[in-house]
Structure 1
């Protein structure tokens, strides 16, 4: 996220504004088929206003893609918030030809074990980290190595279940 030019002291709105400034490049980098729908999508539930940060549509997937931005570390309650948004989108925004909406929570730090235990992938929700600056090389190498080890363990675990 270095390309956004944010200082270390910024708000969620600053992050959203920076992403929108780079939206054309951002969408092109995501691949063909993404279309920007709305920012701060207002949803009224039981008379209360809720706002989804960013809403996209993917033509090939034929589904809405909800994006929620979090400044801090992922928290289990973020899943509930995204589920609420996805269910609302499914009920009020989804067209007949579309698949169920999916969600992406972008946060400063994910909580791998919480994400795994919550089995968010089953609900069509993904969690990803963004970085405003790269960590020192040694720390980055350690994190990449750990991610590879975890991915290998998940692959081997899934292979055992498939046999």
Structure 2
């Protein structure tokens, strides 16, 4: 009987996979159809008639003729999407079967080829839904990774051409936790933030980045008669190391850094296997003081990272201002 139940489970898995493949195939064919429509419109515009007024007339005329027969997929707005689709992705063979039309619409709206390449590679690698891709774009994931990495490194990791060797290559600073639903002006404690993270673990793992899996919450550590409790423990399969997160809702202090350093030392000496890399510690804090972090830790250490969290998504200007500050700081160090 046990064997029959196992066969049923396997058959169900085969059916589910076939259904998903069928849906993906239909969606890809629809995406190709929109691409070819965009190509045909573009060719017509190129026929010595590439004037703004002609393009507007053509789209309006096509919509009037096609929408009554084929529905809202041929509204003026949608036809403009198809035209832009071809212009942004001019080679049909480079379209990815893993991406849906809804995801392509998000990619079309991005401002540069680097942005599109990064988000498409990450969406395919991590099997993001449309909603997850949208959230990563609106939280400016690409720009945040650029704060601590160069463009080529970020793209190489996204394309799977390089495996991260440093936690800073995948761990973001700042992190955005708007999905927790905690208001900026509300009063809350560290345990409230921790509970909210556990309740929204899937979204938090998405924010953390590639390769993370949950290990424990309030992990008890017993040291010479004293008990300590680590807020949250993760494991990262790309970095091959434990990742300890300590949450601080108040201003970061050197005592907080010392406490996390003790937890990292414990995991390195007791929990880590010989073929694993050193443990990483992340201080997830509301208010980070880079100088305190710098002088509380040895120079050139790579295991402890302070990452500031925000309960709301940033504007693009805020991220660009941060990048400009980082570039300026880097250039000043080079001059010295």
Structure 2 alignment gaps of length 5 or more: 1-176
Task: State the shift of 1:149 in Å.
Answer: 4.8
Counterparts of 1:81 and 1:29, CA distance in 2: 24
- Structure 1 SS opposite 2:234: strand
If each structure's strand is expressed as a fraction of its own residues, which one has the higher value?
1
- Matched residue, 1:154: 329
- 1:4 and 2:4 are equivalent in the alignment: no
CA gap 1:111/1:29 in 2 versus in 1, 3 angstroms: closer
Higher helix share: 2
Q: Distance in 1 between matches of 2:246 and 2:312?
A: 20
Q: CA deviation at 1:44?
A: 1.1
What value does the CA root-mean-square deviation take over the aligned residues?
2.5
What's the secondary structure of 1:71's corresponding residue? strand
Give the gaps of 5 or more residues in structure 1: none
Structure 2 residue 241 is matched with structure 1 residue 63: yes
Q: Which has the higher contact order (CA 8 A, sep 6+)?
A: 1
Q: CA deviation at 1:150?
A: 3.9
Tell me whether 1:24 sits opposite 2:202 in the alignment: yes
TM-score, normalization: structure 1?
0.83
**1:50 aligned residue (228, 233, 251):** 228
- Which residue is equivalent to 2:296? 118
What displacement does 1:96 show? 1.7
Give the number of aligned pairs. Answer: 156
- Report the Cα offset of residue 144 of structure 1: 6.2
Q: Kindly state the Cα deviation for residue 32 of structure 1 after the two structures are TM-superposed.
A: 3.2
The secondary structure found in structure 2 opposite 1:122 is coil
TM-score, normalization by structure 2: 0.42
Partners in 1 of 2:261 and 2:210 — Cα distance? 26
Find the counterpart in structure 2 of residue 132 from structure 1. 311
